[in-house]
Structure 1
Amino acid sequence: MKPTQLIIARTIGIFVVATGIVYISWRWAFTLNMNALWLAIPLALAETYSLGEAILYTFTMWHARKRPSPPPARKGLSVDIFITTYNEPLELVLKTALSAKYVTYPHKTWILDDGQRPEFALAAQRIGVGYITRGAEWEGKPRFAKAGNINNALFQTDGEFIAILDADQIPSPGFLDHVLGYFEDEAVAFVQTPQEFWNVGKADPLGSRAELFYGPIQRGKDGWDAAFFCGSNAVLRREALMALGLSAYTRSSLAAVRRALRRAKTQAQELRARWHRANPAAEHVAVDVLASISRCESGLRRGKPLADILDRLADDIVESQQIEVALPDDMLATLAQIESEITHIAGEQALVINPMRTNSITEDMVTALHLHAMGWSSIYHHEVLVQGLAPEDLKTMLSQRNRWALGTMQVFFTQNPLLMPGLSLGQRLMYLSTMTSYLNGFAAVTFLAAPIVFLTTGIFPLNADPVTFFAHFLPFFLLCQAFFQVTGHGCRGIWKGQQMSIALFPTWIIATTKGLVAAVTGRHMAFSVTSKTKSESNSGFKWIVPQLIAMGLLIVASGIGVARAAFGAAGLSSTLVSLGWVAIDMALLWAAVSAARYRGPKDSEITAPSLPQHELLAALLTGSISSEPNTLGEQLANLRVSPSVPMKDDVAIGPNVHAIGPVLDAHAALALRNTVAAELGSRLDGREKIILVDVSEVTSASPAGIACLMQTLHLVRAESADMRIFGVSQALETANLAYRIDGLTHVYKGLAEAQAAHPSGSARKPALHQAQPSQPQTSQPQTSRLQTSRLQLDQSAAPAVPAMPAAPGESGGADAIDMTLASEALNAS
């Protein structure tokens, strides 16, 4: 916003707040109809809520900024572009992948296939991009939808920066060049760009562009260092995400251990009470277990490593049962339950550390919220650099908006920004303004009901003559509209945004209610993927039945009101006010009717981004990729495999010892993971498996390196093996102070101490953070989870030169292409 425009906006904003306070004060003090408080109070509350939203919007716009151009992108940065997909068509994903591949700034492109489709792996290899899917460690574990997909890829790549794209979003060649310069400020965690859609016409009946949000609102939030991460079209700093994941791990691990110890103490006390005097041996065992739990609680208070605490407790429970007297069966079962829970804390998850937050279906917003709370900054770059596909029918749009609202309200009730430490006042209010906007559904019901009640019954919710009412109301109302026009100068979606806030009131009410229930019950909500194909339903009107009922009631009430006024049963002035009110309600609700009538964009409205011409020919190869098992297997057999993380001096391999060099970053940790996977895979012969990792030479440890190291430990333990870290390192000591890495394992001082250490619980049975045993892999009986991850990494690495089709007439098998068909398809594209 230009300085002059900002001054005008601030001035109008001050008058908006002032006139709004005068109006609401007058409403509460002098106008409530005491004979109809059941209607008067809800209406006054709804108007008060609207004033609150106006104040928050004014606050948002106070520092609205138009950023200058960022510095040029520094050469040599490493970037991974993630393309997330679950059930989208192969052709759609490949268009995005090809465009991402030809983004001009040097980078790696990865297709993150959460659908685990072999034909996608083959197609990715053919066009020369990486392919990542989930490994065996995810079997039987919560997947966390898109957040889990991204987290899985974060532990299989090592770029300094991550660009996230949805499966349908085509980046421009200069996407990275235009935003990487912002990261010269080391405090910047992410840069968000607008969402634009190439299948949406100027009318935009579904309100997909959200121009009010991606215009003045995001600029306003940016002014308060609270720009929102919107899940795609964004670039994030890996270290910021990993630091967030480590910090969240510390909090969640401590909380999980405390809960487990409390439950164990309760169960042990019940055992002691049950067998008091009836079975002295059983009572004695219960007393011993209680004493061990007390020692664990004391160690927790003193900051002892969590792994040591729980391993000791598990050992004590096992040893307490080594007595000559037989213990009651129910006691043995309870002790086994306690020991199992202690040794499987957090074992129900595939990843011990989740950089992208997984506790909400709006993983983008809650991740940004926590990054801001940690002190990271954000940037909103107001330039369209990516274009995608918007929903083309009302059903899909409502499903998308419901997910946004549901996840946002869940966060509102569970992680309210007003109570979260670390946020500035401006950041708290920026998040609050977005969250409370979904409460508008309840206010909308009141605004719709009030004129209906008066026109049909004559009960008016306020006592005021029209002149006095308009004298108080109109200044506030007109200034609000002027404020929208000034702050949204050049934005075409201001009226559409106001319409949708009222027209979708059933969606907001349902989402708010479900979000509250989920927060109270702790229920995890399912993530719904936005469909990229049009719904088969020919009519959208069945999805707006509440809106149609409301419009019908308004029309009927208007007829009754006119008749009542004509026969003198109602005041003319009050009737006219109510009819004007009805007209505004109908104009707002009409957006739902327009959306229901929408049948998708016309051909003239679709301006698909262009792809590199020579690459389109390669993309056509996917037309010959068969999904038949036999044919597909033959095609996959020709995949060229190259190492995902080239070995450097970061990790030196010795006899049974892996020494990490001076830098423990994502690259070094991934190299360690690959070599450990190979070593572990060669030891699947029933012997004790111990991995020794020397960190004594580490002088620099990044959050990404530590997080990947901890994930390797997690996967090693999932194989009932033991990984012991040793070496005195100031960098690791500093990291431990920040992130409590000793929550996973003890860091030994030297090799001799690590070798002589008592076997951890992992050698006895699953240890801290180990996954529950899964069903044996019949297809790969000798492949470990960690080895499977390595194999997946190898296959995901793209060759330097994509495989090209054989020339027509040569023996190319599935690669042979009819050039005429290719030309026709190219022209059609």
Structure 2
Amino acid sequence: MNTSSLVSPKHNIGRVKSRYRFFFEENSYSVFMSLLLTMAYFVLHAFIKLERIDFDNAFYRYFPQLKPNRFRLGDPIRFVIQLTFLTLVKFKRDGKQAVEKESKYSIFKILPLFIDWAMRFDKWFTLRVRQSLNKEINENTQTGFQKLTSADFWEKPHITKILLAAVLFLLAIFITVPFSLEAQAIFMSLILFIAYSLRGIKGPLPTIVMITLSITTSTRYIWWRVNETLNWGDPIALFLGFGLLAAEAYAWFILILGFFQTMRPLKRKPVKLPKDTSSWPTVDVYIPTYNEPLSVVKPTTISALALDWPEDKLNVYILDDGKRDEFKEFAAEIGVGYIVRPNNFHAKAGNLNHAMRYTDGELIAIFDCDHVPVRSFLQMTIGQFVEDPKMCLVQTPHHFFSADPFEKNLGNFAQTPNENMLFYGLIQDGNDLWDATFFCGSCAVIRRSAIEEIGGFAFETVTEDAHTALKMQRKGYRTAYINIPQAAGLATDSLSTHVGQRIRWARGMAQIFRVDNPLLGRGLSLSQRFCYLNAAMHFFSGIPRIVFLTAPLALIYFDAYIIYAPFLAILLYVVPTLMQVKITNSRIQGKWRYSFWGEVYEAVLAWYILKPTTVALFAPNKGKFNVTEKGGLTDKDFYDWEISKPYLFLATINLIGLVVGVFRIFFGDPVQIGVLLISMAWALYNFMILGAAIAVAAEAKQVRRSHRITANFPAALRDANGRTYKVRVTDFSDVGVGVQLPADDLINVETDVDLIMSRGRRQFSFPCKVINARKNRIGLILSNLTLEQEKNYIESTFSRADAWLGWQENFTHDLPSESFKHVKQTSIRGFKSLILHAPAKAKKYITKIGNILILVGSFMPQKPKLGNLNYESAN
């Protein structure tokens, strides 16, 4: 019996080392590397005219996969792969350190030259077009193109109808006429070229053109899918193909409605109030609360009292559905109304309706108990009611000074627009154009007579706010949206709480769709119906999103052609259409929603909103109102395994699909390689999106109950010796303030000081203690404020009229390539967090898999390292 096969793996490695000991001896290794370097130098010099190399330090810069004084069995293969890569691509020095890639003597020479020429031409063309569109000769002169687009005849109804008919006729031709693959390639290339050139040009006309192109390409894609890509000969493929087509049709429908909703945001301005304050209406301020702590409700109540409005025309009420004595005592102490009811029927809607029995203000301002209004809130909103007697609702944005779970757990607060920003920054502005502004439950003013006419706040659904607005609009009342943040509050604290809140919204919108469908009934215009339909349909995205996250596995696992078309046809229809839609959405939504993040948000919620929306369609009375908890703390980092189960399952089946796909490429039918590669690319993209969803479930520690708010306004500081310094407030919370001093080291830690801030012409002093100091920055903590001082402090900070005006200025316009990189990095972080939080037994196997992936990655060609990497530093 041959026993050599029974030798242990370690012994086998020892035998290999013994046989090839030349490579493992330090001196011999140096000789070996010198020979490789010499060979590499001559090859590179001969093929790409590389500049003279410094033999002492260049080798490991051009071959970063290899390790000094350490030989691995795969090093010759790594060397050959990298050498081939360097042979095909020239890396030319630009200055001293930078390395610039330039194609020369490459088998891929023609393609890079063509792409370079196309990009140069596009840059020139775009520059010329921008100059012709944006350049103003003087204040009274416009370019010909500007005169054309701003001419009065565009507003004439018959001109509009003629143009619309012509556009629809052309669209019908481009959508339905079958093209050869060559014609499809030319058609999509032309559309992408036009869209790419228009994307940076200001004005509504380029936006409308890009929207038209996106509708054309996406509708043509759906037409092609229906007519040419269903596999009628395979029942399984046909069933799964119909499922994918239905999901795509849903996405197409939502895309069209979204374009309609957001193509021309109104950007309404506030209406000035009459100078005679006696004509101003009376206002009741409602602050509903159920289980929130007094520390959350107190700033909102104090700020409501500080609203700039005649004192005899303003009444503030705490609507306490929790029936708590401490709230009653606080209300009496501060001088606001306190209303409770004997039961909690109909949740928030019932609370509001009960309060209307005991108040009589002409208008009702509503704030969730954590939403702190600025003092200008009523001044900015009520002019609309005075000007228009049919105005029933004025809504303002929901702005959050704390990070939501995405921002907190991913660490991108104020860097990436959060999930809410698209709705409050763009969609509500678009709704306002069509007189379809939604009531969002807070930060809004409502006309009492309109509420009374519809029988009170709607309680038939768990989204009483949107349903209430719908009912008032059916009665012919008008609505408005002022896109200026006039209040700020707390975002959801954890991913589970966030998901719970979205479940309630999804259930409520599905209930509205079922019991008071906006497409049916009287009173709404067609545009209002479309806006409400899009809002309701948005929450039915659970099933389509899961279909998209699993669709590529049909071919990989079951050999089912759900898109029954040749590889090249799929490539020419799918990829350009997605690119066109991404470019257009990036232009429209770029300041409020970055590319690819929408898929992440939907992936997080898809599984959880699937059931409640489906149930609400068939049983709208099922489900209950759940209050979103705010102000919670997390004393340590942890991973929420429970909430992430769907993401983990979907990521696992996509990962297995990728492995199976690789196996099938080498051992399967060669004819399938093209469509198999497309399916694998799709599965890899899904894997990336799910990785980002997994990253959100890694809950970051939150031990600070009071959230720091960035600021920049003047104040003064007085020390114990009576010296006063002019300072700037850099941040604040309800318990402390950050201050910038005029010079370094002026005040020491543990020093008692007085912080002096102002509201208008009034100045207030607040006792503080310095708790930290660094150069010219110090941190203060407020010391035992009286109730009056607490009121003055909130009026000087949270209630400042300019407190939240810069909320959108932190974000640059979306760059799809950068957004893709960010999502990819987030995905990698998500899978790393699994390793970090995995049980000990699982970590061992995950680490082994990670080492295998690192080993495979070490064979990939790499760009040479920048800078001087000498022999020692490479260690």
User: TM-score normalised to the size of structure 2?
Assistant: 0.55
Calculate percent identity across the aligned residue pairs: 33
Q: 1:10 aligns with which of 191, 208, 212?
A: 208
Q: 1:105 aligns with which of 309, 320, 324?
A: 309
Q: What amino acid is the match of 1:115?
A: G
Quote the Cα distance in structure 2 between the aligned partners of 1:99 and 1:28: 57
Q: Which consecutive residues of structure 1, in runs of 5 or more, have no partner in the other structure?
A: 246-354, 614-618, 621-818
The residue that corresponds to 1:534 in the other structure is: 632
The residue that corresponds to 2:677 in the other structure is: 576
1:88 to 2:292 alignment: yes
The residue that corresponds to 2:253 in the other structure is: 52
The alpha carbon displacement at 1:460 in A equals: 2.4
Q: CA RMSD in A?
A: 3.0
Quick check: 1:162–1:236 contact (8 Å CA) kept in 2? yes
1:548 to 2:749 alignment: no
The residue that corresponds to 2:688 in the other structure is: 587
Q: Which consecutive residues of structure 2, in runs of 5 or more, have no partner in the other structure?
A: 1-148, 151-201, 411-416, 717-733, 736-781, 798-875
Quick check: 1:197–1:387 contact (8 Å CA) kept in 2? yes
1:383 to 2:484 alignment: yes
The residue that corresponds to 1:192 in the other structure is: 395
1:210 to 2:414 alignment: no
1:227 to 2:437 alignment: yes
Greater alpha carbon shift after TM alignment, 405-414 vs 598-607:
598-607
Note the alpha carbon deviations across 1:189-217, whole angstroms, 9 max, x for none.
11111111111179465986511111221
Compare CA radii of gyration and give the structure with the larger one. 2
Quote the Cα distance in structure 2 between the aligned partners of 1:196 and 1:7: 31
Q: How many residues in Structure 1 have an aligned counterpart in Structure 2?
A: 508
Q: What amino acid is the match of 1:117?
A: R
Quick check: 1:387–1:609 contact (8 Å CA) kept in 2? no
1:114 to 2:350 alignment: no
The residue that corresponds to 2:243 in the other structure is: 42
Match of 2:643, SS state, is helix
Match of 1:216, SS state, is helix
The residue that corresponds to 1:457 in the other structure is: 558
Return closer, same or farther for 1:155/1:216 CA change in 2, 3 Å cut-off.
same
Quote the Cα distance in structure 1 between the aligned partners of 2:451 and 2:298: 27
The alpha carbon displacement at 1:442 in A equals: 0.9
The alpha carbon displacement at 1:492 in A equals: 4.5
Greater alpha carbon shift after TM alignment, 70-79 vs 33-42:
70-79
The residue that corresponds to 1:123 in the other structure is: 330
More strand per residue: 2
Quote the Cα distance in structure 1 between the aligned partners of 2:707 and 2:302: 23
The alpha carbon displacement at 1:475 in A equals: 3.3
Quote the Cα distance in structure 2 between the aligned partners of 1:598 and 1:431: 34
The alpha carbon displacement at 1:484 in A equals: 1.5
Quote the Cα distance in structure 1 between the aligned partners of 2:647 and 2:658: 16
Quick check: 2:263–2:588 contact (8 Å CA) kept in 1? no
Q: 1:500 aligns with which of 601, 608, 611?
A: 601
Quick check: 1:503–1:588 contact (8 Å CA) kept in 2? no
Alignment of 1:587-666 (within 5 A): 587-599=688-700, 606-607=708-709
Quote the Cα distance in structure 1 between the aligned partners of 2:600 and 2:274: 40
1:559 to 2:659 alignment: yes
Quick check: 1:541–1:593 contact (8 Å CA) kept in 2? no
Match of 1:439, SS state, is coil
The alpha carbon displacement at 1:591 in A equals: 3.9
Quote the Cα distance in structure 2 between the aligned partners of 1:494 and 1:602: 32
Return closer, same or farther for 1:459/1:166 CA change in 2, 3 Å cut-off.
same
The alpha carbon displacement at 1:367 in A equals: 0.5
Quote the Cα distance in structure 2 between the aligned partners of 1:364 and 1:98: 24
Quick check: 1:108–1:129 contact (8 Å CA) kept in 2? yes
Quote the Cα distance in structure 2 between the aligned partners of 1:577 and 1:417: 40
Q: 1:144 aligns with which of 339, 346, 365?
A: 346
Return closer, same or farther for 1:174/1:73 CA change in 2, 3 Å cut-off.
farther
Quick check: 1:405–1:438 contact (8 Å CA) kept in 2? yes
The alpha carbon displacement at 1:601 in A equals: 5.8
Greater alpha carbon shift after TM alignment, 491-500 vs 450-459:
491-500
Quote the Cα distance in structure 2 between the aligned partners of 1:407 and 1:91: 29
Q: 2:220 aligns with which of 18, 22, 29?
A: 22
The alpha carbon displacement at 1:424 in A equals: 0.5
Q: 1:133 aligns with which of 333, 337, 340?
A: 340
The alpha carbon displacement at 1:585 in A equals: 1.8
Return closer, same or farther for 1:494/1:83 CA change in 2, 3 Å cut-off.
farther
Greater alpha carbon shift after TM alignment, 600-609 vs 36-45:
600-609
Structure 1 stretches of 4+ moved >6 Å: 602-605, 608-613, 823-829
Return closer, same or farther for 1:193/1:495 CA change in 2, 3 Å cut-off.
farther
Q: What amino acid is the match of 1:125?
A: A
1:398 to 2:522 alignment: no
Quick check: 1:109–1:129 contact (8 Å CA) kept in 2? yes
Quote the Cα distance in structure 2 between the aligned partners of 1:560 and 1:518: 41
The alpha carbon displacement at 1:467 in A equals: 2.2
Quick check: 2:408–2:700 contact (8 Å CA) kept in 1? no
Quick check: 1:225–1:378 contact (8 Å CA) kept in 2? yes
Quote the Cα distance in structure 2 between the aligned partners of 1:609 and 1:371: 39
Note the alpha carbon deviations across 1:384-403, whole angstroms, 9 max, x for none.
11110011211111110100
The alpha carbon displacement at 1:446 in A equals: 1.5
Q: 1:179 aligns with which of 372, 375, 381?
A: 381
Quote the Cα distance in structure 2 between the aligned partners of 1:499 and 1:99: 36
Q: What amino acid is the match of 2:654?
A: L
The residue that corresponds to 2:101 in the other structure is: none
**Higher relative contact order (CA closer than 8 Å, sequence separation 6+):** 1
Return closer, same or farther for 1:427/1:820 CA change in 2, 3 Å cut-off.
closer
Alignment of 1:506-521 (within 5 A): 506-519=607-620
Return closer, same or farther for 1:54/1:205 CA change in 2, 3 Å cut-off.
farther
Quote the Cα distance in structure 2 between the aligned partners of 1:7 and 1:599: 44
Quote the Cα distance in structure 1 between the aligned partners of 2:274 and 2:711: 24
